[in-house]
Structure 1
Amino acid sequence: MSGYDDDSYFQPPNTNNPNATPYCPNGDPFITFAGRQWWINYHWTQAQGTYVWEPFKSIFDPTLVEHGPDGIRLQIQPNQDPSQAWRTSEVVLMDKLGYGKYLVTARADGGSFSDLDPHAIFGAFLYQYSEAPPSNGPNIHREIDFLEVLRSGGGNAQFTLQPYDSVVPPPVHFFQMPPGTEVITIINNWYVDPGFKIIADYSCYAGDWSLENPPPEEKLIAKWYPALDPSFAPLIPDHTDSSCERLHLNLWLMHGEAPGGPQSVTVTRFEFQPA
Protein backbone atom coordinates (compact mmCIF):
# COMPACT_ATOMS: atom_id res chain seq x y z
CA MET A 1 0.00 0.00 0.00
CA SER A 2 1.23 3.47 -0.84
CA GLY A 3 -0.60 5.76 1.60
CA TYR A 4 -3.92 6.88 3.04
CA ASP A 5 -7.13 5.68 1.36
CA ASP A 6 -5.06 3.22 -0.66
CA ASP A 7 -7.39 0.79 -2.45
CA SER A 8 -4.72 -1.34 -4.11
CA TYR A 9 -5.54 -4.41 -1.99
CA PHE A 10 -8.83 -4.68 -3.91
CA GLN A 11 -7.25 -4.37 -7.35
CA PRO A 12 -5.61 -6.87 -9.70
CA PRO A 13 -3.36 -8.77 -9.44
CA ASN A 14 -4.46 -9.36 -5.83
CA THR A 15 -8.11 -10.08 -6.59
CA ASN A 16 -7.34 -12.50 -9.45
CA ASN A 17 -4.02 -13.93 -8.33
CA PRO A 18 -3.54 -17.29 -10.10
CA ASN A 19 -1.99 -18.72 -6.93
CA ALA A 20 -5.12 -17.83 -4.96
CA THR A 21 -7.96 -18.83 -7.25
CA PRO A 22 -7.41 -22.62 -6.88
CA TYR A 23 -8.45 -22.26 -3.23
CA CYS A 24 -11.89 -21.00 -4.30
CA PRO A 25 -14.91 -23.06 -5.43
CA ASN A 26 -14.75 -23.46 -9.22
CA GLY A 27 -11.57 -21.38 -9.15
CA ASP A 28 -13.60 -18.17 -8.81
CA PRO A 29 -12.81 -15.75 -5.94
CA PHE A 30 -16.11 -13.89 -6.47
CA ILE A 31 -19.80 -14.63 -6.10
CA THR A 32 -22.76 -12.55 -7.25
CA PHE A 33 -25.43 -11.84 -4.65
CA ALA A 34 -28.09 -9.11 -4.58
CA GLY A 35 -26.86 -8.04 -8.01
CA ARG A 36 -23.37 -7.25 -6.71
CA GLN A 37 -19.96 -8.90 -6.59
CA TRP A 38 -18.57 -10.22 -3.29
CA TRP A 39 -14.97 -11.30 -2.76
CA ILE A 40 -14.73 -14.61 -0.87
CA ASN A 41 -10.92 -14.80 -0.68
CA TYR A 42 -10.26 -11.50 1.09
CA HIS A 43 -7.92 -13.12 3.64
CA TRP A 44 -5.63 -14.82 1.11
CA THR A 45 -2.02 -13.59 0.98
CA GLN A 46 0.98 -14.55 -1.14
CA ALA A 47 3.00 -15.28 2.00
CA GLN A 48 0.47 -17.43 3.86
CA GLY A 49 -2.09 -18.60 1.36
CA THR A 50 -5.79 -18.81 2.13
CA TYR A 51 -5.41 -19.88 5.77
CA VAL A 52 -4.37 -16.63 7.38
CA TRP A 53 -3.98 -16.34 11.13
CA GLU A 54 -5.46 -13.01 12.12
CA PRO A 55 -5.01 -11.58 15.66
CA PHE A 56 -8.35 -13.17 16.56
CA LYS A 57 -7.03 -16.57 15.39
CA SER A 58 -9.74 -17.40 12.88
CA ILE A 59 -8.83 -19.26 9.70
CA PHE A 60 -10.97 -17.89 6.86
CA ASP A 61 -11.67 -20.48 4.19
CA PRO A 62 -13.43 -19.45 0.92
CA THR A 63 -14.68 -22.99 0.38
CA LEU A 64 -17.02 -22.52 3.35
CA VAL A 65 -18.91 -19.74 1.54
CA GLU A 66 -21.89 -21.35 -0.19
CA HIS A 67 -24.01 -19.39 -2.66
CA GLY A 68 -27.47 -20.79 -3.33
CA PRO A 69 -31.05 -19.70 -3.99
CA ASP A 70 -31.45 -18.59 -0.35
CA GLY A 71 -28.39 -16.32 -0.41
CA ILE A 72 -24.88 -16.51 1.05
CA ARG A 73 -24.29 -19.23 3.60
CA LEU A 74 -21.41 -18.53 6.00
CA GLN A 75 -20.07 -21.44 8.00
CA ILE A 76 -17.76 -22.49 10.82
CA GLN A 77 -16.47 -26.02 10.32
CA PRO A 78 -13.79 -28.23 11.90
CA ASN A 79 -10.52 -28.66 10.07
CA GLN A 80 -9.95 -31.96 8.25
CA ASP A 81 -6.91 -32.27 10.49
CA PRO A 82 -8.42 -32.36 14.02
CA SER A 83 -5.20 -30.94 15.47
CA GLN A 84 -5.66 -27.74 13.49
CA ALA A 85 -7.92 -24.77 14.23
CA TRP A 86 -11.50 -24.60 12.98
CA ARG A 87 -12.29 -22.84 9.71
CA THR A 88 -14.47 -19.75 9.34
CA SER A 89 -15.80 -17.57 6.50
CA GLU A 90 -16.13 -14.00 5.29
CA VAL A 91 -17.31 -12.13 2.19
CA VAL A 92 -16.57 -8.53 1.23
CA LEU A 93 -18.67 -6.38 -1.07
CA MET A 94 -16.58 -5.01 -3.93
CA ASP A 95 -18.73 -1.89 -4.35
CA LYS A 96 -17.84 1.17 -2.27
CA LEU A 97 -21.29 2.53 -1.54
CA GLY A 98 -20.69 5.38 0.91
CA TYR A 99 -23.46 7.21 2.71
CA GLY A 100 -26.87 5.63 2.67
CA LYS A 101 -29.16 3.04 4.22
CA TYR A 102 -27.73 -0.49 4.45
CA LEU A 103 -30.12 -3.41 5.04
CA VAL A 104 -29.02 -6.99 5.74
CA THR A 105 -31.38 -9.88 6.47
CA ALA A 106 -29.91 -13.09 7.90
CA ARG A 107 -31.10 -16.47 9.15
CA ALA A 108 -29.57 -18.53 11.94
CA ASP A 109 -29.52 -21.97 10.35
CA GLY A 110 -29.26 -23.63 13.76
CA GLY A 111 -32.64 -22.26 14.84
CA SER A 112 -32.03 -18.96 16.64
CA PHE A 113 -29.41 -16.24 16.89
CA SER A 114 -29.81 -16.50 20.64
CA ASP A 115 -28.46 -20.06 20.37
CA LEU A 116 -25.33 -19.24 18.34
CA ASP A 117 -22.35 -20.94 19.97
CA PRO A 118 -20.72 -18.82 22.71
CA HIS A 119 -17.43 -18.74 20.75
CA ALA A 120 -19.02 -17.88 17.38
CA ILE A 121 -19.52 -14.34 16.09
CA PHE A 122 -21.74 -13.23 13.23
CA GLY A 123 -20.73 -9.78 12.02
CA ALA A 124 -21.93 -7.17 9.54
CA PHE A 125 -19.77 -4.06 9.31
CA LEU A 126 -18.14 -1.39 7.17
CA TYR A 127 -14.35 -1.47 7.13
CA GLN A 128 -11.56 0.14 5.11
CA TYR A 129 -8.49 -2.06 4.58
CA SER A 130 -6.06 0.87 4.45
CA GLU A 131 -5.89 3.73 6.92
CA ALA A 132 -7.88 6.91 6.45
CA PRO A 133 -6.13 10.31 6.68
CA PRO A 134 -5.62 11.67 10.23
CA SER A 135 -8.28 14.29 9.51
CA ASN A 136 -10.83 11.45 9.57
CA GLY A 137 -10.35 11.12 13.33
CA PRO A 138 -9.44 8.14 15.51
CA ASN A 139 -11.55 5.63 13.54
CA ILE A 140 -8.73 5.10 11.05
CA HIS A 141 -10.39 2.19 9.23
CA ARG A 142 -13.79 3.90 8.94
CA GLU A 143 -15.32 0.96 10.78
CA ILE A 144 -19.02 0.86 11.59
CA ASP A 145 -20.06 -2.42 13.20
CA PHE A 146 -23.71 -2.71 12.15
CA LEU A 147 -24.11 -5.80 14.32
CA GLU A 148 -22.09 -8.45 16.12
CA VAL A 149 -23.89 -11.45 17.59
CA LEU A 150 -21.61 -12.73 20.36
CA ARG A 151 -21.58 -13.63 24.02
CA SER A 152 -19.92 -10.68 25.74
CA GLY A 153 -20.67 -7.62 27.79
CA GLY A 154 -24.26 -7.11 28.79
CA GLY A 155 -26.02 -9.26 26.20
CA ASN A 156 -25.58 -11.64 23.31
CA ALA A 157 -25.35 -8.96 20.62
CA GLN A 158 -23.95 -5.45 20.20
CA PHE A 159 -23.65 -2.34 18.03
CA THR A 160 -20.15 -0.85 18.03
CA LEU A 161 -17.89 1.95 16.82
CA GLN A 162 -14.10 1.84 16.73
CA PRO A 163 -11.59 2.08 18.25
CA TYR A 164 -13.40 0.22 21.01
CA ASP A 165 -10.95 1.32 23.70
CA SER A 166 -10.68 4.96 22.64
CA VAL A 167 -13.20 6.38 25.13
CA VAL A 168 -14.67 5.46 28.51
CA PRO A 169 -17.27 4.05 28.57
CA PRO A 170 -16.52 2.27 25.27
CA PRO A 171 -18.58 3.07 22.16
CA VAL A 172 -20.81 0.00 22.29
CA HIS A 173 -24.49 -0.76 22.83
CA PHE A 174 -25.14 -4.24 24.25
CA PHE A 175 -28.52 -5.91 23.86
CA GLN A 176 -30.21 -9.28 24.09
CA MET A 177 -31.24 -11.29 21.05
CA PRO A 178 -34.55 -12.86 22.19
CA PRO A 179 -34.91 -16.66 22.28
CA GLY A 180 -36.34 -18.12 19.10
CA THR A 181 -35.07 -15.30 16.86
CA GLU A 182 -34.37 -17.26 13.69
CA VAL A 183 -34.35 -14.33 11.23
CA ILE A 184 -33.15 -10.77 11.78
CA THR A 185 -33.01 -7.63 9.66
CA ILE A 186 -30.24 -5.13 10.36
CA ILE A 187 -30.53 -1.53 9.17
CA ASN A 188 -27.75 1.02 9.45
CA ASN A 189 -28.37 4.54 8.18
CA TRP A 190 -25.12 6.47 7.57
CA TYR A 191 -25.56 10.03 6.38
CA VAL A 192 -24.82 13.72 6.91
CA ASP A 193 -27.69 15.63 8.51
CA PRO A 194 -28.74 19.19 7.55
CA GLY A 195 -26.41 20.56 10.23
CA PHE A 196 -23.45 18.75 8.58
CA LYS A 197 -23.25 16.28 11.44
CA ILE A 198 -22.32 12.71 10.46
CA ILE A 199 -24.91 10.20 11.65
CA ALA A 200 -24.84 6.41 11.86
CA ASP A 201 -27.99 5.04 13.48
CA TYR A 202 -28.24 1.33 14.17
CA SER A 203 -31.28 -0.93 14.42
CA CYS A 204 -32.00 -4.65 14.55
CA TYR A 205 -35.43 -6.18 13.97
CA ALA A 206 -36.86 -9.67 14.26
CA GLY A 207 -38.09 -11.06 10.96
CA ASP A 208 -37.54 -10.82 7.21
CA TRP A 209 -37.94 -7.23 6.00
CA SER A 210 -36.84 -5.03 3.11
CA LEU A 211 -36.62 -1.36 2.20
CA GLU A 212 -39.85 -1.76 0.24
CA ASN A 213 -41.51 -3.61 3.13
CA PRO A 214 -39.89 -1.99 6.19
CA PRO A 215 -40.11 -3.56 9.63
CA PRO A 216 -42.80 -2.35 12.02
CA GLU A 217 -41.68 -0.90 15.33
CA GLU A 218 -43.13 -3.80 17.31
CA LYS A 219 -40.46 -6.02 15.71
CA LEU A 220 -37.63 -3.81 16.95
CA ILE A 221 -35.06 -5.66 19.05
CA ALA A 222 -32.60 -2.78 19.61
CA LYS A 223 -31.70 0.69 18.34
CA TRP A 224 -28.70 2.97 18.95
CA TYR A 225 -27.93 6.62 18.08
CA PRO A 226 -24.23 7.11 18.96
CA ALA A 227 -24.20 10.64 17.49
CA LEU A 228 -26.20 11.79 20.52
CA ASP A 229 -23.24 11.06 22.80
CA PRO A 230 -20.51 13.75 22.54
CA SER A 231 -17.77 11.18 23.24
CA PHE A 232 -19.01 8.76 20.56
CA ALA A 233 -19.86 11.21 17.77
CA PRO A 234 -16.19 11.82 16.71
CA LEU A 235 -15.82 8.07 16.10
CA ILE A 236 -18.46 8.03 13.36
CA PRO A 237 -16.35 8.11 10.18
CA ASP A 238 -16.85 10.33 7.19
CA HIS A 239 -17.07 9.29 3.56
CA THR A 240 -15.05 11.07 0.89
CA ASP A 241 -14.34 10.69 -2.82
CA SER A 242 -11.17 8.78 -1.97
CA SER A 243 -12.36 6.64 0.97
CA CYS A 244 -12.67 2.91 0.38
CA GLU A 245 -14.76 1.37 3.14
CA ARG A 246 -16.70 -1.75 2.15
CA LEU A 247 -19.35 -3.97 3.67
CA HIS A 248 -18.08 -7.19 5.31
CA LEU A 249 -20.19 -10.17 6.39
CA ASN A 250 -18.52 -12.89 8.43
CA LEU A 251 -18.87 -15.79 10.82
CA TRP A 252 -15.78 -16.42 12.95
CA LEU A 253 -14.48 -17.57 16.32
CA MET A 254 -13.51 -15.42 19.30
CA HIS A 255 -9.82 -16.04 20.06
CA GLY A 256 -10.01 -19.12 17.84
CA GLU A 257 -11.81 -21.08 20.55
CA ALA A 258 -13.47 -24.20 19.15
CA PRO A 259 -17.29 -24.21 19.22
CA GLY A 260 -19.40 -27.12 20.38
CA GLY A 261 -20.16 -27.99 16.75
CA PRO A 262 -20.46 -26.53 13.23
CA GLN A 263 -22.23 -23.17 12.92
CA SER A 264 -24.06 -21.61 9.98
CA VAL A 265 -25.72 -18.28 9.14
CA THR A 266 -27.32 -17.52 5.77
CA VAL A 267 -27.52 -13.92 4.57
CA THR A 268 -30.73 -13.84 2.55
CA ARG A 269 -30.93 -10.19 1.53
CA PHE A 270 -28.80 -7.11 1.03
CA GLU A 271 -30.21 -3.77 -0.05
CA PHE A 272 -28.76 -0.27 -0.24
CA GLN A 273 -30.43 3.09 -0.63
CA PRO A 274 -28.08 6.03 -1.26
CA ALA A 275 -28.37 8.96 1.13
Structure 2
Amino acid sequence: MIHIFAALALAITFGCEQSDPNFNGREGDTLTFSGRKWDIKSSSVVVGPGPNYFSKHPNDVFIDDDGYLHLSVEFREGQWRSTEVISQDTMGYGTYVWTLQGDPVNIDPNLVIGLFTWDNNTFQTQANSEVDIEFAKWGDEEEEYTLQYGVQPIAFGPYNPERVLKPEGDNSNWIGVSTHAFTWTDTLITWESWKGGTYGNGEPDASWTFDLSNPARIKYEGGNQSDPIIIPAPGNTTNARMNLWLVNGPGGPAYGTRQEIIIRKFEYIPL
Protein backbone atom coordinates (compact mmCIF):
# COMPACT_ATOMS: atom_id res chain seq x y z
CA MET A 1 0.00 0.00 0.00
CA ILE A 2 2.88 2.39 0.65
CA HIS A 3 4.10 1.91 -2.92
CA ILE A 4 0.68 2.59 -4.38
CA PHE A 5 0.25 5.77 -2.35
CA ALA A 6 3.67 7.08 -3.34
CA ALA A 7 2.94 6.51 -7.00
CA LEU A 8 -0.45 8.18 -6.87
CA ALA A 9 1.03 11.22 -5.14
CA LEU A 10 2.35 12.26 -8.54
CA ALA A 11 -0.12 10.52 -10.81
CA ILE A 12 -3.51 11.99 -11.59
CA THR A 13 -5.59 9.29 -13.24
CA PHE A 14 -8.91 9.85 -14.94
CA GLY A 15 -11.93 7.67 -14.39
CA CYS A 16 -12.59 7.41 -18.13
CA GLU A 17 -10.83 8.30 -21.33
CA GLN A 18 -11.66 11.58 -23.01
CA SER A 19 -13.51 11.15 -26.31
CA ASP A 20 -13.91 14.76 -27.50
CA PRO A 21 -11.10 15.39 -30.04
CA ASN A 22 -11.16 19.10 -29.23
CA PHE A 23 -10.63 18.79 -25.46
CA ASN A 24 -6.85 18.54 -25.65
CA GLY A 25 -5.85 21.77 -27.40
CA ARG A 26 -4.33 19.78 -30.26
CA GLU A 27 -4.16 20.03 -34.02
CA GLY A 28 -2.84 16.73 -35.32
CA ASP A 29 0.55 16.10 -33.75
CA THR A 30 0.97 19.64 -32.37
CA LEU A 31 -0.56 21.49 -29.44
CA THR A 32 -0.71 25.07 -28.20
CA PHE A 33 0.57 25.71 -24.68
CA SER A 34 1.56 29.00 -23.01
CA GLY A 35 1.05 30.83 -26.29
CA ARG A 36 3.47 28.61 -28.26
CA LYS A 37 3.17 25.69 -30.66
CA TRP A 38 4.71 22.40 -29.55
CA ASP A 39 5.34 19.22 -31.53
CA ILE A 40 4.42 15.94 -29.85
CA LYS A 41 7.14 13.31 -29.93
CA SER A 42 6.11 9.78 -30.89
CA SER A 43 7.98 6.61 -31.78
CA SER A 44 7.22 3.03 -32.76
CA VAL A 45 10.69 1.90 -31.64
CA VAL A 46 12.64 2.78 -28.49
CA VAL A 47 14.49 6.11 -28.68
CA GLY A 48 16.20 8.39 -26.18
CA PRO A 49 15.94 9.27 -23.43
CA GLY A 50 15.63 5.96 -21.66
CA PRO A 51 15.34 4.64 -24.31
CA ASN A 52 11.55 4.70 -24.41
CA TYR A 53 8.54 4.40 -26.64
CA PHE A 54 6.85 7.82 -26.90
CA SER A 55 3.09 8.28 -27.19
CA LYS A 56 1.10 10.93 -29.06
CA HIS A 57 -2.25 9.54 -27.90
CA PRO A 58 -4.66 12.40 -27.02
CA ASN A 59 -5.26 10.94 -23.56
CA ASP A 60 -1.53 10.80 -22.80
CA VAL A 61 -0.51 14.36 -23.72
CA PHE A 62 -3.07 17.17 -23.78
CA ILE A 63 -4.12 20.64 -22.60
CA ASP A 64 -6.93 20.84 -20.03
CA ASP A 65 -9.67 23.47 -19.64
CA ASP A 66 -7.32 25.65 -17.54
CA GLY A 67 -4.72 25.69 -20.32
CA TYR A 68 -2.36 23.38 -18.39
CA LEU A 69 -0.22 20.74 -20.10
CA HIS A 70 -0.58 17.12 -18.97
CA LEU A 71 2.22 14.65 -19.66
CA SER A 72 1.85 11.00 -18.72
CA VAL A 73 3.41 7.56 -18.78
CA GLU A 74 0.78 5.02 -19.78
CA PHE A 75 0.60 1.35 -20.73
CA ARG A 76 -0.76 1.48 -24.25
CA GLU A 77 -0.68 -0.95 -27.18
CA GLY A 78 1.26 -3.47 -25.14
CA GLN A 79 4.04 -1.08 -24.08
CA TRP A 80 4.72 1.50 -21.40
CA ARG A 81 4.92 4.78 -23.30
CA SER A 82 6.46 8.10 -22.23
CA THR A 83 5.58 11.60 -23.49
CA GLU A 84 7.50 14.66 -24.68
CA VAL A 85 6.70 17.98 -26.34
CA ILE A 86 9.15 20.12 -28.33
CA SER A 87 8.79 23.84 -28.96
CA GLN A 88 8.48 24.87 -32.60
CA ASP A 89 10.09 28.18 -31.64
CA THR A 90 13.88 28.23 -31.56
CA MET A 91 15.43 29.74 -28.44
CA GLY A 92 18.83 30.74 -27.17
CA TYR A 93 20.41 32.60 -24.28
CA GLY A 94 17.84 33.86 -21.80
CA THR A 95 15.61 32.73 -18.95
CA TYR A 96 13.46 29.59 -19.12
CA VAL A 97 10.66 29.28 -16.57
CA TRP A 98 8.35 26.34 -15.78
CA THR A 99 5.52 26.15 -13.24
CA LEU A 100 4.60 22.63 -12.12
CA GLN A 101 1.62 21.17 -10.30
CA GLY A 102 1.86 17.79 -8.58
CA ASP A 103 4.18 15.92 -6.24
CA PRO A 104 7.57 15.45 -7.89
CA VAL A 105 9.14 14.55 -4.52
CA ASN A 106 7.30 11.28 -3.88
CA ILE A 107 7.92 10.25 -7.45
CA ASP A 108 7.98 6.71 -8.83
CA PRO A 109 11.67 5.64 -8.66
CA ASN A 110 11.77 4.93 -12.40
CA LEU A 111 10.18 8.23 -13.47
CA VAL A 112 11.96 11.38 -14.70
CA ILE A 113 10.42 14.83 -15.23
CA GLY A 114 12.58 16.74 -17.71
CA LEU A 115 12.52 20.49 -18.37
CA PHE A 116 15.38 21.36 -20.69
CA THR A 117 16.91 22.77 -23.86
CA TRP A 118 18.13 20.65 -26.75
CA ASP A 119 19.51 20.93 -30.27
CA ASN A 120 19.73 17.93 -32.61
CA ASN A 121 22.38 19.68 -34.68
CA THR A 122 25.01 20.78 -32.14
CA PHE A 123 26.38 17.51 -30.75
CA GLN A 124 29.89 18.08 -32.05
CA THR A 125 30.44 21.66 -30.96
CA GLN A 126 28.00 22.11 -28.04
CA ALA A 127 26.98 18.65 -26.72
CA ASN A 128 23.43 19.24 -28.04
CA SER A 129 23.17 22.60 -26.17
CA GLU A 130 21.50 20.90 -23.18
CA VAL A 131 20.69 22.65 -19.89
CA ASP A 132 18.42 20.73 -17.49
CA ILE A 133 15.97 20.93 -14.64
CA GLU A 134 14.86 17.44 -13.64
CA PHE A 135 12.98 15.60 -10.92
CA ALA A 136 13.99 11.95 -10.47
CA LYS A 137 15.13 9.26 -8.05
CA TRP A 138 17.08 7.58 -10.87
CA GLY A 139 15.87 4.12 -9.82
CA ASP A 140 16.73 4.55 -6.13
CA GLU A 141 13.57 4.27 -4.03
CA GLU A 142 15.40 5.66 -0.97
CA GLU A 143 16.56 8.86 -2.71
CA GLU A 144 15.26 11.83 -0.69
CA TYR A 145 16.13 14.76 -2.95
CA THR A 146 14.60 14.61 -6.42
CA LEU A 147 15.13 18.14 -7.79
CA GLN A 148 18.26 18.30 -9.95
CA TYR A 149 19.99 21.10 -11.87
CA GLY A 150 22.49 20.20 -14.54
CA VAL A 151 24.40 21.20 -17.67
CA GLN A 152 25.50 18.49 -20.09
CA PRO A 153 27.68 16.54 -20.49
CA ILE A 154 27.15 14.97 -17.05
CA ALA A 155 27.22 11.19 -17.50
CA PHE A 156 27.79 10.70 -21.23
CA GLY A 157 31.08 8.89 -20.70
CA PRO A 158 32.87 9.61 -17.39
CA TYR A 159 30.63 11.05 -14.67
CA ASN A 160 31.27 14.78 -14.19
CA PRO A 161 29.87 15.58 -10.73
CA GLU A 162 30.69 19.30 -10.88
CA ARG A 163 28.09 19.71 -13.65
CA VAL A 164 25.07 18.68 -11.56
CA LEU A 165 23.51 19.65 -8.22
CA LYS A 166 20.68 18.27 -6.11
CA PRO A 167 19.54 21.06 -3.74
CA GLU A 168 19.12 19.62 -0.25
CA GLY A 169 16.52 22.04 1.08
CA ASP A 170 12.93 21.65 2.24
CA ASN A 171 11.40 19.14 -0.16
CA SER A 172 7.89 20.18 0.82
CA ASN A 173 8.47 23.35 -1.25
CA TRP A 174 8.04 21.29 -4.43
CA ILE A 175 4.81 19.52 -3.48
CA GLY A 176 1.77 21.25 -4.96
CA VAL A 177 2.67 24.21 -7.16
CA SER A 178 6.31 25.20 -7.70
CA THR A 179 8.26 27.32 -10.18
CA HIS A 180 11.69 26.47 -11.61
CA ALA A 181 13.93 28.52 -13.90
CA PHE A 182 17.39 28.85 -15.32
CA THR A 183 19.08 31.84 -16.91
CA TRP A 184 21.59 30.82 -19.59
CA THR A 185 24.38 33.12 -20.76
CA ASP A 186 27.73 32.49 -22.43
CA THR A 187 29.60 32.89 -19.12
CA LEU A 188 27.12 31.83 -16.43
CA ILE A 189 24.09 29.60 -15.87
CA THR A 190 21.91 30.32 -12.83
CA TRP A 191 19.15 27.99 -11.63
CA GLU A 192 16.43 29.07 -9.18
CA SER A 193 13.31 27.44 -7.71
CA TRP A 194 10.40 28.80 -5.69
CA LYS A 195 7.47 27.37 -3.81
CA GLY A 196 4.27 28.57 -5.51
CA GLY A 197 3.46 29.73 -8.99
CA THR A 198 5.33 33.03 -9.31
CA TYR A 199 8.75 33.45 -10.93
CA GLY A 200 11.09 35.74 -8.98
CA ASN A 201 8.83 35.89 -5.91
CA GLY A 202 11.42 36.90 -3.31
CA GLU A 203 14.51 34.86 -2.49
CA PRO A 204 14.52 31.46 -4.21
CA ASP A 205 14.03 28.35 -2.10
CA ALA A 206 16.86 26.67 -4.02
CA SER A 207 19.53 27.96 -6.40
CA TRP A 208 22.84 27.14 -8.07
CA THR A 209 25.34 28.73 -10.44
CA PHE A 210 27.79 27.26 -12.95
CA ASP A 211 30.50 29.40 -14.54
CA LEU A 212 33.60 29.26 -16.72
CA SER A 213 35.86 28.35 -13.79
CA ASN A 214 34.77 24.71 -14.31
CA PRO A 215 36.80 22.33 -16.52
CA ALA A 216 35.79 21.59 -20.10
CA ARG A 217 34.19 18.15 -20.61
CA ILE A 218 33.54 15.88 -23.59
CA LYS A 219 30.23 14.19 -24.42
CA TYR A 220 30.59 10.56 -25.54
CA GLU A 221 27.60 8.96 -27.26
CA GLY A 222 27.05 6.37 -29.98
CA GLY A 223 30.76 5.97 -30.59
CA ASN A 224 31.18 9.71 -31.16
CA GLN A 225 32.62 12.43 -28.99
CA SER A 226 32.03 16.16 -28.84
CA ASP A 227 34.52 18.95 -28.53
CA PRO A 228 35.47 19.88 -24.95
CA ILE A 229 32.73 22.12 -23.50
CA ILE A 230 32.31 24.22 -20.37
CA ILE A 231 29.08 26.15 -20.95
CA PRO A 232 27.39 24.99 -24.15
CA ALA A 233 26.08 27.62 -26.53
CA PRO A 234 22.66 27.48 -28.22
CA GLY A 235 22.55 26.67 -31.91
CA ASN A 236 20.30 27.80 -34.72
CA THR A 237 17.80 25.01 -33.96
CA THR A 238 17.85 24.95 -30.15
CA ASN A 239 14.43 24.62 -28.55
CA ALA A 240 12.74 24.00 -25.20
CA ARG A 241 11.43 20.55 -24.33
CA MET A 242 9.38 18.93 -21.58
CA ASN A 243 9.07 15.22 -20.99
CA LEU A 244 8.01 12.47 -18.62
CA TRP A 245 10.01 9.30 -19.15
CA LEU A 246 11.28 6.06 -17.61
CA VAL A 247 14.89 5.38 -16.65
CA ASN A 248 14.41 1.68 -17.45
CA GLY A 249 12.45 2.34 -20.63
CA PRO A 250 9.80 -0.25 -21.48
CA GLY A 251 10.28 -1.89 -18.06
CA GLY A 252 7.69 0.58 -16.79
CA PRO A 253 7.11 2.43 -13.51
CA ALA A 254 8.38 0.63 -10.40
CA TYR A 255 4.87 0.69 -8.93
CA GLY A 256 3.16 -0.38 -12.13
CA THR A 257 0.65 2.50 -12.27
CA ARG A 258 -0.09 5.28 -14.74
CA GLN A 259 1.96 8.42 -14.02
CA GLU A 260 1.17 12.06 -14.82
CA ILE A 261 2.52 15.54 -14.20
CA ILE A 262 0.87 18.88 -14.88
CA ILE A 263 2.85 21.83 -16.21
CA ARG A 264 0.89 25.02 -15.66
CA LYS A 265 3.04 27.45 -17.60
CA PHE A 266 6.21 27.93 -19.62
CA GLU A 267 7.93 31.22 -20.32
CA TYR A 268 11.05 32.12 -22.28
CA ILE A 269 12.59 35.56 -21.72
CA PRO A 270 15.36 36.17 -24.28
CA LEU A 271 18.44 38.20 -23.35
Sort the Cα spacing of 1:33 and 1:273 in 2 relative to 1 into closer, same or farther, 3 A: same
Cα distance, 1:221 vs structure 2: 3.4
2:188 match: secondary structure: strand
1:62 maps to which residue?
A: 56
**Which residue identity does 2:171 align to in structure 1?**
P
- Asked whether the 8 Å contact 1:32–1:38 carries over to 2, the reply is yes
TM-score by length of 1: 0.73
1:151 maps to which residue?
A: 137
1:208 maps to which residue?
A: 197
1:130 match: secondary structure: coil
Cα distance, 1:25 vs structure 2: 9.2
Cα distance, 1:51 vs structure 2: 2.5
Structure 2: distance between partners of 1:95 and 1:244: 9
Structure 1: distance between partners of 2:261 and 2:216: 30
Report % sequence identity: 24
Structure 2 counterparts to residues 168-179 of structure 1, below 5 A = 168-176=160-168, 178-179=171-172
Cα distance, 1:182 vs structure 2: 1.5
- Asked whether the 8 Å contact 1:122–1:252 carries over to 2, the reply is yes
Deviations 1:226-262 (A, max 9, x none): 116422694321235xx21110100011122322111
Structure 2: distance between partners of 1:254 and 1:169: 19
Q: Does 1:246 align with 2:239?
A: yes
- Asked whether the 8 Å contact 2:25–2:63 carries over to 1, the reply is no
**Which residue identity does 1:273 align to in structure 2?**
I
- Asked whether the 8 Å contact 1:100–1:273 carries over to 2, the reply is yes
1:131 maps to which residue?
A: 122
2:76 match: secondary structure: coil
1:78 maps to which residue?
A: 75
- Asked whether the 8 Å contact 2:212–2:231 carries over to 1, the reply is no
1:237 maps to which residue?
A: 232
Q: Note the residue ranges of structure 1 that are not aligned, 5 or more in a row.
A: 1-23, 44-49, 193-197
**Which residue identity does 1:130 align to in structure 2?**
N
Deviations 1:63-118 (A, max 9, x none): 1111123311001112343xxx311110001101211111111111xxx2111211
Sort the Cα spacing of 1:80 and 1:223 in 2 relative to 1 into closer, same or farther, 3 A: same
- Asked whether the 8 Å contact 1:61–1:88 carries over to 2, the reply is yes
1:101 maps to which residue?
A: 95
1:47 maps to which residue?
A: none
Sort the Cα spacing of 1:187 and 1:209 in 2 relative to 1 into closer, same or farther, 3 A: same
Cα distance, 1:266 vs structure 2: 1.0
**Which residue identity does 2:110 align to in structure 1?**
H
Cα distance, 1:170 vs structure 2: 4.5
Structure 2: distance between partners of 1:141 and 1:266: 26
Structure 2: distance between partners of 1:131 and 1:228: 20
Sort the Cα spacing of 1:232 and 1:154 in 2 relative to 1 into closer, same or farther, 3 A: farther
Stretch deviating more after TM superposition (174-183 or 87-96): 174-183
- Asked whether the 8 Å contact 1:154–1:175 carries over to 2, the reply is no
Q: Does 1:114 align with 2:105?
A: yes
**Which residue identity does 2:151 align to in structure 1?**
L
Calculate the aligned-residue CA RMSD, in Å. Answer: 2.5
Q: Note the residue ranges of structure 2 that are not aligned, 5 or more in a row.
A: 1-23, 218-228
Stretch deviating more after TM superposition (113-122 or 62-71): 62-71
Cα distance, 1:54 vs structure 2: 1.8
1:226 maps to which residue?
A: 210
